[in-house]
Structure 1
Amino acid sequence: MDAANELLEGLDPEQRAAVVAPRGPVCVLAGAGTGKTRTITRRIAHLVHRGHVAPGQVLAVTFTARAAGEMRTRLRALGAHGVQAKTFHAAALRQLRYFWPRVVDDEPWQLVEHKLRLVGQAAHRAGAPTERESLRDFASEIEWSKASLVTPEDYPAVAARVHRDTPGPAEQVALVYATYEQLKMRARVLDFDDLLLHTAAALEEHADVAGEFRDRYRCFVVDEYQDVTPLQQRVLDAWLGNRDDLTVVGDANQTIYSFAGATPRWLLDFGRRFPEATTVRLERDYRSTPQVVSLANRVIGAARGRPAGSRLRLVGQRPPGPEPEFAEHDDEPAEAAAVALRIRKLIDEGVPASEVAVLFRVNAQSEVYEQALAELDIPYQVRGGERFFARPEVRQAMQALRVAASSSVPSLAPVSAPSDEDAPAPSSEPSPVGETLDAQVRAVLVPLGLTEQPPAGGATRERWESLRALVELAEELVTVVPDADLARFAQELDVRAEAQHPPTVEGVTLASLHAAKGLEWDAVFLVGLVEGTLPIQHAGDDEEAVEEERRLLYVGVTRAREHLSLSWALSRSPGGRRHRRRSRFLYGLVPENHPAALPVRGRGRDGAPSRNSLRDETRRRCRTCGGALVGTMAVKLGRCADCPSNVDEELLARLRAWRTDRAKQLKVPAYVVFTDATLTAIAEQRPADEAGLVAIPGIGAAKLDRYGADVIALVTGAFSPDPE
C-alpha cells in the first residue's frame, strides 16, 4: 500500500471525503470532537504524496502557536516535511521581514510586544484616563478597531452603529487611537496588528512582491475559520489573489471571539464565494460520550437565528458514560466546596487531576475554587489568568488595606454596597461591628475602582469583580469573627494568599470558558451558571451577544470527554438572599424529575415549591394564550412574541423620561437603570406593588431597593419628581 492510501486508513467516510477532495476550494464544517486536525493534516499530506503540491508550497494557518506546533508535528509524522504551519501573525512577520527592504526601502522596524507604554502616552496626550485597567481597555479597543479595519476617523460612527461597549466617549477613544498610531510611526515601530496590515498592503500595492509570494505558495489551509477577523481575511485574500486553492475548516457554533472582531460570515458564505466548492460536514464526535454529546446538541439546538451552515448535529461515537450532573447550591462557597469534594472523589477513583477542569465565565470567579481545592489539598493550576492573590488590583488592594489598618484615622463612614442584582442584600438587622468593617473595606477600595454600579465589561469590570470579591471576604469574616477589624481582615488576606501555592504541573485546571477553547478533559465542571454571569450582565437584551454567550456554554460542554457537571448558586455569599436565577440556557436541559428542575427562585426547606417558585412557573406561561414562553424577551414580557401587546404608551413615555433623569443623576448609561425591554415589560404588566415588580425578570433586590418606589409610583400615577 502506498503512502497516500495509508493516509486513508482509520478515517470515517466524511473525513475520507475531505482528505481526498481535489485541489480547489474545500470547506470542512467540523463539529467539536470530530477529528478536524487529523482530517486537515491528512488532507495536506495526501496532496503532497499524490504530487498535487510540493510541501514548501503549502501554507497552513491557525490561531494559536500551540495549534500550529501540533499541526507541524503531525505533518512530520505523516511524511509531509517542509509544510509551513504558523499563526496568521507569525506567517505575516516572516513575510514582512523578507519583503520589507524592497517595499519600504529602510531597515526593518522593531516589533512592540507590549504596547501599554505607548497607549499610556497616547492616553495622557488625549486627556484620557491612564490607570492600568483603562489602558488595557484602550489597547483592546485599538486591537478590535484594527482587526475590524476601522480607522480612528471612522471609529465613533462605527462604534455607534454596532453598539460597541466603549471604554470611554467614542471621540476620546478615537483620539487615543489616532495618537497611538502617530507615536508608533514616529518611533518607527510596529505592533502585532501592523504585521497583518503591512503584509496585506505589500501584496496589494506591489505586483512584484505579490508575484514572488504567489509563486512560492500555491495551496492554503485555514483552521478555525469561524474566528477570522476582517483584517485576517484581507491578508488571506491578498495571499490568494485570483486563485482558489484554499481549504478552510471551522464550526460557526464555536464562534466566541466576536468582541475581538471575529466573525463566522466568511465560513458561512464560503459556498457563495466559491460556488464550485466541495463542502464536507464532520458530525461524528469521537471526544465525548453520547450523554455529553446529547446535552451539547440541546444547548446549541435552542439557539435563535442559526444559519444553515451552523446546523451541525453531533453524533457520539464513544461507549455510553454517566449522565451529566446538575446541582443547585445555596451560595458560591457551598457550590465550590461541593465541586471540590466531587473532584476529590474522581481523583480517588483514578482520574488524574490534570484531566479535570473547572470552567467559569469570568476570571474573578476563580478565587473561591482556588480556596476550596486548596482546603482539600487538591493541586490546581490557573489557566488564562493570574491567581486571585497575584492579580495587580488584589495586591494593590491588600497594600491599601494594610495601610488603612495601621493608620490611627477614626473609622470611616459607611459607603453604600455596590448595586448589583446578584449581590446579596443586607440583612434586616446587621451586626454594627460587621457593618463597620464592610464599610471600611469598601471605603478603602473605592479609590481603587470599586464603584457603586458595575462597569460594563473589559479589564475595568474584571478589576471591579476582584475588588468586590474582597468586600465579600470581609462580609464572610464577620460571620465567623464578629469583632473583626481592618487589621484582622488584612491578616486574614495574608494567610489566604500564603496558603494557596499548590503545585501547578499536575493539577486541576481552573480556566475561563474562553481560555478553554481547543482543550479537553475527562471531567469538566461548569460553574456559576446564573443570570448576569452566563449570559454576562452586559449582554443585556442584545440577541447576538446573548447567543454568543450560549455558544460559550456549548464550548464548555464539549470540552468534557466523560464526566460533566453543571452547577449554580442562589446567593453569592453564605446567608445572603437566595434571589439569583439559574441561567436561561439551562431551561429544558435539567431533567424534569431533578430537584433543580424547579424554578430557581425557591423551594422551601422541606423541598416543596415556595410561593416564589410557583409564581416563577406561572411567569413562564404566556399571560395571553397560556402557552409556554420561549426566549428571553418572551419571558421578560410575559407573553409570546406573536401575542398582542397591551403596552401603556403614556406610561412607557413617563418611564423613559424618569430613567433618563435617574441615569443623569447617577452618571451612568440609561440601560444600567433599566433596559428598554424591562421598561416595556413594566408598561405592559403595570405592577402596582413590589411583588408584581420583582416578578419581572431583570428586577432583583438591588433594583427594587433603588428604583422600586419610583416605578410603582409611576405606574399608579402617584409619582412626583424631586425638585431641582
Structure 2
Amino acid sequence: MRYKRLHSRIKGSSNDFEQMASAFEAEGQALMHSFAPQINQPTSDYAGEIERIRQIDEKLGRTFQRLNRHQRHAVFHPAQRAILSAMVGSGKTTVLIAKIFYLHFVAHIPFEQMVVLTFTNKAAREIKERIGNFLGEPDAARNKQLRYFGTFHAIARQLLNEHPSLGELGFKPDFLIMDEEEKQDFLGRLVTQENLTIKYQNQLARRWRNYRHNGETLMGNMKSEDDFVRLVELAEAEKRRSNVLDFDDLITLCNRLLGKEVPRSPKWIIVDEFQDCSEEQLQLIEHLRGTDTRLFVVGDQNQSIYGWRGSKERLFQEIQAEWQADWLELPQNYRSTETILSAAGNLLNEQQASLVATRQSGKPIALVRHFDDQQEAYYLREQMLSLQKEGQSLDSVAILFRKHQQIKLVETVFSQAEIPFQLVARKELRENPAQAFFLRVLKLCANPNDLDACLALVCDATFGALTKSRTLIQILHERAPGETVLQACETYLEQRKKQSPHLQQLIRQLGRFETDLLRKADASADELLDLLALRPVLKPTSIHHADYLESIADAWAQLQRYMNEKGWGDRSSIFRVALDQVVLEGTFQINERIKEQGQGVHLLTIHASKGLEFDRVYIAGANTGIIPLAQHNNGSLNVKEEKRLLFVAMTRGKNVVEIGWHAQPTLRNAEPKPSYFLNAIPDALLDRRESAAAVVAEVPEQATDEWPIGCRVSHKKYGLGEIVAVDEKELLCRFDSVGEKSFSKAFAKALLKKES
C-alpha cells in the first residue's frame, strides 16, 4: 500500500490501532491483535472409558465411539469451565448433544439441573428430538425435566414464570407475550387513547427499544421532545394491568429478578453459538451461575456475524480470561472440499491454521463477471435449467445474497422460467391473514381483558367489521368495574345500529373455549370451528374461504401437537405456553419441521444461511460496496465482521462455490469490481471467468393503458387485488389479503393475471 493512500485512510491518529487496522482491511490486508490461546489438547482417545460405557449400554457406547479424538476430549474432559472453539463443519451439534448424554447417562446429572441455551428454535428442537430418539416417546414428566432446554428468550420466559418474586415487578405467572406487530399496535392504541403528540408513529417499537437501551428519546431530525417518555410510562403500566410482556422484556426482567435472587443454580450451563451472545445474554448466564455451576460453551469466532445485535468479536478471549476456562477445539471440517476451505480460510488470516480439511481438493472457486444484476439472474436461470437436465436435485443448491432486495429479481426470473425455488425466510404471521386473525382469537380466549387482541379481532382488515377509532378504544378502556374487555365488546356490538351477527356470535362463543374445548386433548379443527362459530366469519363467499379454513386447521393441529407432546401441568397453562411459543417463533409451525423434498433451489441471505449446508452455493452480486457494505467500511470491527460473513457464505458449500459480481452494478454504493476481500484468495484457488454473452430477453415496452388503474388482477401468492398506480417502470397493486405490493412492468405479465 502506498504511504499517501495509507495516510489518507488513517486520517491522522497514528496511535489508534482500530483506525490503522481499518485502513489495512480496506486494502484487503490484515493488521490485528495476535491471540494464541493455550489449547487443552487431547492426550487420550478415551477408548477404555467408552468400552466400559458400552458394556453397560451398547447404544450409548456407540454414540461416543463414533466421535473423533478431539470430539471425545470435549465430551469427557472434566473442566469446571470450558470453551469449545468449534471450526465450521466440525460436528459441533453432535458434540454438544453427546456432552448432554454423557452428563445425564454417565455422570448422572438430572436434565432439570442443566440449563441448555441456544439461539434458534431449530437447534433447541434438534437437541430435544435426539434425546427423545434415545429415550423413546416424550411424556409430561420428561417435558418438565427439559424445561430449561431452549432459546435464551424461551428459557427467560420459563424462569420468569417460576420466579417467586415475579409479582414484585407487577406481573403474574401465565403472562402472555406480544410480538413486534402487536407491540406497535399496542403503542399506537395508547397514543390514540391518551391523545398524545408523538412523532415517527410508524416506528414506535424501535423508539422504545432505543430508549430502553440508551435512554434516547429523539429520533431522526427531531429537535425537541414529544410525549414519548409519557407514552413509555403509560405502556409500562398498561402491560402490568393486562399481564402482557413484550419480547424485549423477557431477558431484561429475568436479569432484574435473578440479580436479586436465584431460587436454584443449575449444576451445568451449556451454551450453543456462544460467539453470538450479547451483554444481556451474558448477564443471564452470570446470574444463573452459582459457585459450583459448571460451564460448557460452544461456538466459532469465525462465524461471529451479529455485531449489530450486540455480540462482541473478542468475546472468547475476554471470557477465557474472566472465567479462567480451559480452551478446547474441534479443528476438523467434514463438510467442504479442501479447496473451498482453503479459499475461505485465506479470508481469516488470524486463524487460518486452525482449519483442518478432511476431504480432498475439489473444483476451484468460480469468480464470474456479469454485466449487471439482470444478466446474473438469467445466467443463474440457465445454470438451474442445466442442473435439472442433468437430473440433479435443486434442493441441494443455494443462492446467497448480502441484501434482501437482491433476491427479488432472481425470484421473478425463476418464476417466469417455472424453476422451483424456496425463499428461506421466516414467513411473518401477518402474511397469512387467517392465522394472524386466529392468533388474536386465541389470545382473547386466554385473556378476556386483552384490549389490543380484541381491537385487532373486531377491526381486522379481512374478517373484522369495525374501524379502530378513539371512540371504540375509549369504550373498551373505560368499561364498567368488574367487566372484561370481551364483555364490553359484546355489549358494544349488540347496541351498535349496524349489526354484525357473525362477529357477535364469535365474541359470545369465546368464553366457552376453555371449558368446552381446551380440556379435550383430541379436539378436532371442525369442533373448534363449530364451537367458536368461525366458519361464517371467514368469508364463506370468498374464493379463499377453503384456504382460510385449512390455515386455521393447520394452526390448531400444531397447537394441539405442542400441547399434547411438549407440555406439562394443567391444560390452561400449557395453552398459554404454546401461544407464547407461536409469538417467539413468529409462526404456528412450532414443532419439529420435516425437511420437505422437491421445493427447489434455496434463495436466502447470507445471515439466514448460517447453520445450513448445500452441495452447490452461488454467492450473487459480491461487489465491493455490497460485501462489505459501504457503510461498514468505517471501522476495523465492521470490516472484519463483513469478512467473516463472506467466510460463512463460502463454507455453506460442500462441493461447488461460485461467486458472481457485476461490471455495471445497480445497487446503491456498489462499485464495479468484485469484493476486495477476494484479493486474499490465491489465484490457484480461483477460476476467473465471464458469464456468457447477455441472455436477457428483450421485453417490449408496455403501454400504460395495458394495466389501467382499477384493473382487477390475481397473483399466485397474494390472491385478488386491484391496480392503484402506474408509472413508467412499476405497477402498484393493492391486494385484498396483504395490502400493497409493487411489480416491475417488465415482469408483470409473468406474475399477474387480469381478472374479468
**What's the TM-score bracket when you normalise by the shorter of the two chains?**
0.5 to 0.7
TM-score (norm 1): 0.57
- Alignment pair present for 1:561 and 2:654: yes
What's 1:342 paired with? 383
**Structure 1 residues 62 and 579: CA distance shift in structure 2, 3 A:** closer
Equivalent residues in 2 for 1:450-489, closer than 5 Å: none
2-structure distance, mates of 1:510, 1:524: 10
- Alignment pair present for 1:582 and 2:674: yes
1-structure distance, mates of 2:290, 2:208: 28
What's 2:734 paired with? none
2-structure distance, mates of 1:504, 1:121: 44
Amino acid at match of 1:227: D
Structure 1 contact 284–317 (Cα < 8 Å) conserved: yes
Backbone CA RMSD of aligned residues? 3.6
**Structure 2 residue aligned with 1:234, among 271, 283, 304?**
283
**Cα drift, residue 36 of structure 1:** 0.4
What's 1:129 paired with? 200
2-structure distance, mates of 1:184, 1:505: 48
**Cα drift, residue 320 of structure 1:** 3.6
What's 1:70 paired with? 126
What's 2:162 paired with? 98
What's 2:567 paired with? none
Structure 2 contact 661–674 (Cα < 8 Å) conserved: yes
1-structure distance, mates of 2:250, 2:670: 51
**Structure 1 residues 540 and 588: CA distance shift in structure 2, 3 A:** closer
**Equivalent position SS for 1:511:** strand
- Alignment pair present for 1:520 and 2:586: no
**Cα drift, residue 274 of structure 1:** 2.2
**Cα drift, residue 223 of structure 1:** 0.3
**Structure 2 residue aligned with 1:35, among 71, 91, 105?**
91
- Alignment pair present for 1:107 and 2:148: no
Residues 32-91 of structure 1: CA deviation (Å, up to 9, x unaligned): 111000001101111212234122211211001111001111233345964442001111
**Cα drift, residue 220 of structure 1:** 1.0
**Structure 2 residue aligned with 1:183, among 229, 235, 256?**
235
Amino acid at match of 1:531: T
**Structure 1 residues 142 and 512: CA distance shift in structure 2, 3 A:** farther
**Structure 1 residues 35 and 579: CA distance shift in structure 2, 3 A:** closer
**Cα drift, residue 225 of structure 1:** 0.4
Structure 1 contact 382–511 (Cα < 8 Å) conserved: yes
What's 1:89 paired with? 153
Equivalent residues in 2 for 1:517-556, closer than 5 Å: 517-556=610-649
**Equivalent position SS for 1:582:** coil
2-structure distance, mates of 1:186, 1:110: 13
What's 1:252 paired with? 301
**Structure 1 residues 110 and 386: CA distance shift in structure 2, 3 A:** closer
Amino acid at match of 2:652: R
Structure 2 contact 620–660 (Cα < 8 Å) conserved: yes
- Alignment pair present for 1:358 and 2:423: no
- Alignment pair present for 1:9 and 2:65: yes
**Cα drift, residue 266 of structure 1:** 3.6
**Equivalent position SS for 1:6:** helix
**Equivalent position SS for 1:232:** helix
Structure 1 contact 357–521 (Cα < 8 Å) conserved: yes
Structure 2 contact 365–685 (Cα < 8 Å) conserved: no
Structure 2 contact 114–268 (Cα < 8 Å) conserved: yes
Residues 414-471 of structure 1: CA deviation (Å, up to 9, x unaligned): xxxxxxxxxxxxxxxxxxxxxxxxxxxxxxxxxxxxxxxxxxxxxxxxxxxxxxxxxx
Structure 1 contact 286–316 (Cα < 8 Å) conserved: yes
Residues 327-357 of structure 1: CA deviation (Å, up to 9, x unaligned): 0011111111112222222333343222111
**Equivalent position SS for 1:299:** coil
**Equivalent position SS for 1:514:** helix
Structure 1 contact 329–570 (Cα < 8 Å) conserved: yes
**Structure 1 residues 551 and 578: CA distance shift in structure 2, 3 A:** closer
2-structure distance, mates of 1:257, 1:123: 33
**Equivalent position SS for 1:262:** coil
Equivalent residues in 2 for 1:335-414, closer than 5 Å: 335-384=376-425
**Equivalent position SS for 2:346:** helix
Structure 1 contact 29–282 (Cα < 8 Å) conserved: yes
**Structure 1 residues 316 and 196: CA distance shift in structure 2, 3 A:** same
Structure 1 contact 252–268 (Cα < 8 Å) conserved: no
Amino acid at match of 1:300: L
**Equivalent position SS for 1:213:** coil
1-structure distance, mates of 2:135, 2:353: 32
Structure 2 contact 369–689 (Cα < 8 Å) conserved: no
Residues 194-232 of structure 1: CA deviation (Å, up to 9, x unaligned): 1112212222213xxx1x322xx3111000001111111
**Structure 1 residues 510 and 577: CA distance shift in structure 2, 3 A:** closer
**Cα drift, residue 8 of structure 1:** 2.0
1-structure distance, mates of 2:277, 2:90: 21
**Cα drift, residue 122 of structure 1:** 7.7
**Equivalent position SS for 2:385:** helix
**Cα drift, residue 362 of structure 1:** 0.8
> How many correspondences in the alignment?
455
What's 1:489 paired with? none
**Structure 1 residues 263 and 342: CA distance shift in structure 2, 3 A:** same
**Equivalent position SS for 2:395:** helix
Structure 1 contact 112–191 (Cα < 8 Å) conserved: yes
TM-score (norm 2): 0.55
Which residues of structure 1 form unaligned runs of 5+? 157-165, 393-502, 606-724
**Structure 1 residue aligned with 2:354, among 307, 313, 319?**
313
Structure 1 contact 119–176 (Cα < 8 Å) conserved: no
- Alignment pair present for 1:117 and 2:185: yes
2-structure distance, mates of 1:39, 1:367: 38
**Equivalent position SS for 2:159:** helix
2-structure distance, mates of 1:145, 1:322: 51
Amino acid at match of 2:613: E
**Equivalent position SS for 1:321:** coil
Task: Tell which has more relative contact order, 1 or 2 (C-alpha 8 A, sep 6+).
Answer: 2
Amino acid at match of 1:42: A
2-structure distance, mates of 1:353, 1:139: 39
What's 2:220 paired with? 168
**Structure 1 residues 145 and 345: CA distance shift in structure 2, 3 A:** farther
**Structure 1 residues 365 and 311: CA distance shift in structure 2, 3 A:** same
What's 2:565 paired with? none
**Cα drift, residue 375 of structure 1:** 3.2
**Cα drift, residue 174 of structure 1:** 11
What's 2:754 paired with? none
What's 1:213 paired with? 264
Structure 2 contact 118–124 (Cα < 8 Å) conserved: yes
- Alignment pair present for 1:20 and 2:48: no
2-structure distance, mates of 1:526, 1:174: 45
